[in-house]
Amino acid sequence: MTSRFVELLGCLALGSLLGWQQASLFWLFGGMIAGAVVWLALDTWRFRLLLRWLREADWSQEPQLSAPWAWVVEKVRRLQKQWVGKARDSQTRLDEFLAAIQASPNGVLLLDSDGRIEWSNQTAEEHLGIHPERDLLQHITNLIRDPAFSSYLSKAEFQHEVAIAGQGATVSKPVVIAIRIHPYGKKRKLLLSRDITAVQQAEAMRRDFVANVSHEIRTPLTVLGGFVETLQTLSLSDADRAKYLDLMALQAQRMQTLVSDLLTLSKLEGSPAPNRQQCVKASDLIRSCIQEASGLSEVLPGPRHAFVVNAPVDVLLAGSRTELASALSNLLSNAVRYTPAGGTITVAVGVGRDGDVTISVSDTGAGIDPEHIPRLTERFYRVDRSRSRETGGTGLGLAIVKHVLQRHGGVVDIQSRLGHGSTFSLWFPADRVRALPQGQAGLAPPS
């Protein structure tokens, strides 16, 4: 302010000096007024420069002004730097927030008051097929045409969620997406989506499991109850009594086998992973399981099955001997049950390039239709229910095999063609395989 006042005094003094030279009081005052006008014009020009700089916001070039306008420029410049810093921090936080939403397993859509899409994340595209850029400002009902969602949106009852078919859903591979809307702001809406396919499948499996267990236990119990009532109410000959008791013993054995398999599954699901320090020789495992399967083949009607071993190498498998024996025994017993009498069952051992090992069981049975293969390892799933019960199967054997392999880091592979038999393979990763010393390779065929 001091410099500005000095400029004003200078202009007034210069004007009065010029007017005084005219030796007239009129010119003296006229010169002072002219000096004040010049000063005002200069000050106004500086002010206009400041306004133009503020209007154009060209922060790279500052106007060269004297005080106090230079002070104003400096103050604005400092405020501008603060605003830029705050805006940069806000943008950084916004980017981090949006990145977090992008990483969310839930789909997120922001809808305006008219139901148009203002923003969506990548998961929403996976769940609902909504593109974050292409579908911007599209009305949500133009993109999600499911009647259940349309009704949910129109009724505006958002206390619960609604389930619809997700992106890429088919009859053979269903995808179920749950959607819930949360109103906020001025009639805006936050739409969240989540994939509940696995949850619904687990719930369906639980219902099927309870129903199947009830059915599997009720059937032999009904038979047992009928025989008990017969023995209690009728006078039977010794031969008939012995026949009924044998049938009762068969049903009791069936229930015992079912309960045993259920306990095995429960133990596999609830116990820690097998110890890698314990190992079992593949040759010993195969030999003992084939002996057990041979015993089963002997009690079935017709000629015995032929067992062939194709194992040029022997290895050690790290894991639980009991669990591994249970898995291989289930495959062999299934092969015996579903291969016609006199058929051939082959057990092969192969070592991959990466050191992984595969133990496969092949049969010469009728084979399996491809549509059944993906579900064979489900509990109680049977291709032919009557055939399974006739041969004494519980429908839990392949589920046990799958769980054993999962606990050992492996997988079960099933290859089959109708009329050409089936091959069930147990694959173990290299970290579950231990090499044997030289001289111990090869497996002898069963006697």
With 90 as the cut, is the pLDDT of residue 192 above it? Answer: yes
pLDDT score for 222: 85
pLDDT band at 345 (very low <50, low <70, confident <90, very high): very high
What pLDDT does 445 receive? 43
Please choose, from the candidates 294, 286, 335, 293, the residue with its C-alpha nearest in 3D space to the C-alpha of residue 310: 286
As a whole number, mean pLDDT of residues 429-437 equals: 82
pLDDT exceeds cutoff 60 at 335: yes
Please enumerate in sequence order all residues whose Cβ is within 8 A of that of 312, keeping only pairs 6 or more positions apart, or say none: 349, 441, 442
The number of helices, as runs of H, and strands, as runs of E, in the chain is: 12, 13
8-state DSSP, 409 = T
> Phi and psi (nearest 5°) for 84?
-60, -40
Does residue 347 carry a pLDDT above 90? yes
- Residue 344's pLDDT band, with cuts at 50, 70 and 90, is very high
Mean pLDDT, all residues of the chain: 81
Cα(227)–Cα(213) distance, rounded to whole angstroms? 22
The pLDDT of residue 112? 92
Contacts of 72 (CB under 8 A, 6+ apart): 50
For the chain, the C-alpha Rg in angstroms (whole number) is 43
Of 200-214, 257-271, 420-434, highest mean pLDDT: 420-434
Residue 1 has pLDDT above 60, yes or no: no
Q: Report the range of poorest mean pLDDT among 18-32, 227-241, 282-296.
A: 18-32
Give the integer Cα–Cα distance in Å for 242 and 240: 5
* Token pair of 13 as six digits: 């003094």
Fold of 279-435: Heat Shock Protein 90 (3.30.565)
Q: Is residue 398 within 8 Å of 334, Cβ to Cβ?
A: yes
262-268 mean pLDDT: 80
Distance of alpha carbon 410 from alpha carbon 356, whole angstroms: 10
Pairing of strands 306-310, 344-351: parallel
pLDDT at residue 358 greater than cutoff 60 = yes
Q: β-strands 107-111, 117-120: how paired?
A: antiparallel
Range(s) of the chain covered by CATH 1.10.287.130:
204-270
CA–CA dist 7, 321 (Å, integer): 102
Do the beta carbons of residue 348 and residue 331 sit within 8 Å?
Answer: no
Helix or strand (DSSP H, E) at 225 = helix 197-233
Token pair in block for residue 316? 């050690």
How far apart are the C-alpha atoms of 308 and 325, rounded to whole Å? 18
Which residues are CB-contacts of 421 (< 8 A; sequence separation ≥ 6)?
A: 339, 362, 363, 364, 365, 366, 367
Q: What is the mean pLDDT of residues 111-131?
A: 89
Over the stretch 32-61, which tens digit does the pLDDT of each residue have?
Answer: 666 666 666 776 776 676 667 666 666 666
Q: In this model, does residue 340 exceed pLDDT 80?
A: yes
Q: What is the pLDDT of residue 446?
A: 46
* Averaged pLDDT, 121-145: 88
Residues of the chain with CATH 3.30.565.10: 279-435
| Banded pLDDT at 447 (limits 50, 70, 90) | very low
In terms of Cα–Cα distance, which of 373, 350, 362, 346 is closest to 422? 362
Residues of the chain with CATH 3.30.450.20: 104-195
Instruction: Kindly state the average pLDDT of the residues 199-210.
Output: 79
Q: Which fold has domain 204-270?
A: Helix Hairpins (1.10.287)
- Cα–Cα nearest to 280, from 326, 328, 317: 317
Residues 6+ apart with CB under 8 A from 426: 327, 328, 331, 358, 359, 360, 401, 405, 410, 412
Instruction: Give, in words, the CATH class of 104-195.
Output: alpha beta
Q: What percent of the chain has pLDDT over 90?
A: 20
Which helix (H) or strand (E) is 428 found in, with range?
Answer: strand 422-428
